[in-house]
Amino acid sequence: MPQVNNTKKLTEEQVAKYKEIARVYAQIYKELELLEVEGKKLKNKVRAIADKVKTKKILEEIISKP
């Protein structure tokens, strides 16, 4: 026996509202992806700076040894 579908059709206003919600969620997701990419770039820059600082300290230690 087939199942009866008693759902009501959405009004145009409801459809528009849900489409707007979906658009906002898509925009938020896109912004989060961009932030993740920027975060990775910043993380790499920080690592590069930390490596330079470590290298500088090592060189200073070598130079200062008698």
pTM over 0.85: no
Mean of the pLDDT values across residues 27-45? 97
DSSP SS3 for 38: helix
Give the integer Cα–Cα distance in Å for 9 and 35.
Answer: 38
* Alpha-carbon gap, residue 51 to 15, rounded angstroms: 54
Q: How far apart are CA 44 and CA 54, in angstroms?
A: 15
Model confidence pLDDT, tens digit, residues 3-20: 667 778 889 999 999 999
Q: Please state the rounded mean pLDDT for residues 20-31.
A: 98
d(CA 66, CA 49): 28
Q: DSSP 3-state assignment of 6?
A: coil
Distance CA 43, CA 20 (A): 34
